[in-house]
């Protein structure tokens, strides 16, 4: 939808849960000009391909397997970069 973003939680108690983030109207009161801004509450994140992550150590990893991996070796590379099984979220 145009006013909602669907996202997946990467860590914490609700790990791997899907959530909907609606647009929030923000009306500042500390400026003399009255205006309204509509903003999505999203934090900056980074993504990389499985091949790019080879050899890196990650604390948290989310895998989007909506399309299958090219080969079984790619899935191993994606999962082996994280130290704990609890830190991998596969969606």
**7-44 pLDDT, tens digit each:** 888 777 888 888 888 888 888 888 898 888 888 877 77
- Does residue 74 share a domain with residue 57? yes
Q: What is the mean pLDDT of residues 39-63?
A: 77
> What is the residue range of 21's domain?
1-43
Q: pTM for the complete prediction? A: 0.47
User: Are 50 and 91 members of one domain?
Assistant: yes
Domain tally, the chain:
2
Residues 33 and 55 in one domain: no
Residues 33 and 73 in one domain: no
**88 and 62 in one domain?**
yes
Q: What is the mean pLDDT of the chain?
A: 81
Helix, strand, or coil here: 69?
coil
CA atoms within 13 A on the CB side of 38: 6
d(CA 44, CA 74) in angstroms, rounded, equals 26
- Check residue 13 and give its pLDDT: 84
Percent of the chain with pLDDT strictly greater than 90: 0
């Amino acid at each position: 939808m145009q006013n909602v973003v669907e996202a997946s939680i990467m860590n914490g108690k609700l790990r791997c849960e899907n959530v909907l983030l609606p647009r929030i109207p923000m009306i500042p009161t500390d400026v003399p000009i009255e205006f309204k801004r509509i903003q999505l509450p999203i934090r900056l994140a980074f993504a990389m391909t499985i091949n790019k992550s080879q050899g890196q150590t990650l604390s948290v990893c989310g895998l989007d397997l909506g399309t299958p991996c090219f080969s079984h070796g790619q899935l191993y590379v994606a999962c082996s970069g994280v130290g704990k099984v609890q830190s991998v979220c596969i969606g």
